[in-house]
A and B are shown apart, each in its own frame.
Chain A
Amino acid sequence: MSGIEQAFASPTQEWSRVSEQLRAMRRAITFVVGALLLAILVIAAAASGVWLVLVIGACVLAVVTLAVLGVVDRNYRSWGYTERAADLLVTRGVLFRRLVVVPYGRMQLVDVTAGPIERKFGIATVRLHTASAGTDARIRGLPPDEAARLRDRLAALGEARSAGL
């Protein structure tokens, strides 16, 4: 493991990973947006009669789409979480990496949300709230049963170890 990666390594052997459906969902969104842009290009080219626009535009779009897909893939692989005895670690991010340690006793609220697209792909987001607004600990792309298990376990641990402010 390279030097920098050490800083974001899991304290146990491996990070628990999120569902591949997160990547699938984001790929799907990318393709949909790409198709829309392509359609706009086709209409623009047909309207103006300059087909060169379509050719160049399509090439640019293809390159950008490939780049975005690459980012989507790397971002998906960057999500990870580890449950330890007293706290939860969550990591994410490719360009802006982040690792947060949230003690169970400090968790005030654990919520599970899923938007309409997320529901279609069968994933959910778990968010942990402490008394600090800066905590921002969330795990995207969890399968619903894992999300429910985490939520219940975190809520139970939070209660058991609750430390007063």
Chain B
Amino acid sequence: MSTATTDLVREGRTHPASPLVKAGRIVVGLVGVAVVNVRDTEHAGKWLPLVGLALAVFAAAAAYVSWLFTSYRIADGDVRVNSGVFIKRVRRVRIDRLQAIDVVQPLFARMLGLAELKLDMAGGAEGRVAIAYLRLADAQALRASLLAMAAGLDHRTPEAPERPLLQVSMGAVVGSALLSTAALIAFCWIGIVLVVVSVSGSSGIVGAALPGVLGVVAPLWQTIQTHAHFTAAESPDGLRLRHGLLETRAQTVPPGRVQAVRLVQPLLWRIPQWVRVEANIAGYAGRRADEGHQHNSTLLPVGSRAQADAVIARVLPGVDIADVELRRVPGRAKWRSPLRWWTFRAGSNDQVFAVRSGVLTSVHAVMRHEKIQSVALSMGPLQRLLRLATVHVHSTHGPVDVVAPDRDFAEAREMLDVEATRARQGRAAAGPERWMSAAPPADA
């Protein structure tokens, strides 16, 4: 099938209301900073609104000028975004290197019916290319076209139908946040503050402690906000995830892009038997600091073991992660890792390499052989004395680390050699990049 004649060609500007969204976010940010920092409320009441208005107008004007010079072009197998008033900038993504496309709607954009497309490229070191903002329907249609082209299909292929897989209830999201380690710290902190206030009788402490409490509570709120309304659906182009409270986000995760997967179970989650699934998804490398792991790497923020298995079955098709025989480390490892050594497990079968560890928070990480980037053996001085070594299986950027610490040295070398061999065999058998242009998979 020739893809050249069926590729999409389009060129144009983003939606005219885009500057409003950008200006709005800047203004909200500035107002937030001002509110937190203003001490002298008496005088502030007079000039703050004026200053705020001036800033808003300035921001809107700057955003409008920037918008005039921004355009995007889709042709010749790549997507180009041109921007910059004085210093021209062209950001380019090759369509067959597209890893993932997210549809993001920040609050202001959602109010105006707009959305942003974020394109991730394989090995993208400079960060994501964004087309901001388009009408929601246009953004979704464009995403469907680009994903179709990336998979080797005609761009007019209608967006594949999806089948809902699971939905995470708001109760589970809030409950899991309250049972997390961060929440525990927050509660301790609040508890200490309350005790100090009641004992000392002065409420001045509260003012001083407030930033600290906010600092601990804010990430919790961020977690709840990000994972609210989390739904997963399966479709031929991959796993479709939607989540978000104020800012909503829709991601499609093609199965081929998942590099490594892990199941995480913090201590308190054992009570309701909840588990979290995270993955290293190629193409989310080069992420800037302001976008946390949570946005892009969480396949299931909280769910039952059955739900986790369902999600994993979609991103690691044909793999039964319970099928791997996990071996323990020798007793002498206790001299190096006295607190955790008995939880270390590692093993591999024909398909994957798996490790487990964790006393309080249990982590089970799995990686397909053909996805490994490299594998390494390390031995520090203490390990040398104890005749132990650590095996590292390297994956792309993300929360999942596949490391088997403190193995017996001979076993570790054998693991390394076997892994290198299996990886080579796996890569030889792996399919092409435009994975849909190959024969359809046996399990539809």
Contact = CB atoms under 8 A, between A and B. Distances in A.
B379 A7 contact: yes
A165 B122 contact: yes
Contacts of B384: 4, 97
A165 B100 CA distance: 12
Contact of A99 (B370, B380, B416, B432): B416
B387 A4 contact: yes
Contact of B394 (A8, A11, A134): A134
A132 B125 CA distance: 11
A20 interface: no
Nearest to A99: B377
Contacts of A105: 427
A130 to B, nearest CB: 4
B412 A103 contact: no
Nearest to B417: A11
A165 B423 CA distance: 13
A165 B282 contact: yes
A95 B381 CA distance: 5
B contact face: mostly helix, strand, loop, or mixed: mixed
Interface string B371-402: 11111111111001001010010111100000
B159 interface: no
A30 B433 CA distance: 51
B381 A96 contact: yes
Given A100-B376, A135-B394, A7 B424 contact: no
A96 B374 contact: no
Interface string B99-140: 100000000000000000000001100000000000000000
Given A100-B376, A163-B370, A4 B409 contact: yes
Interface residues of B, number: 43
A86 to B, nearest CB: 5
A101 B416 contact: yes
A116 interface: no
B395 A132 contact: yes
A108 to B, nearest CB: 6
Contacts of B93: none
Nearest to A100: B376
A103 B374 contact: yes
Given A163-B427, A164-B433, A97 B379 contact: yes
B380 A135 contact: no
In the complex, the 4 A-B pairs of residues with the closest C-beta atoms, listed nearest first: A132-B373, A164-B433, A132-B394, A100-B376
Interface of B: 99, 122-123, 256-257, 259, 282-283, 285, 370-381, 384, 387, 389, 392, 394-397, 409-410, 412-413, 416-417, 419-420, 423-424, 427, 430, 432-433
Interface of A: 3-4, 6-8, 11, 86-87, 95-103, 105-106, 108, 130-137, 161, 163-165
18 contacts: A3-B387, A4-B379, A6-B409, A7-B389, A8-B377, A8-B379, A95-B380, A97-B378, A97-B379, A99-B378, A103-B423, A105-B427, A130-B374, A131-B282, A132-B374, A132-B397, A134-B394, A137-B374
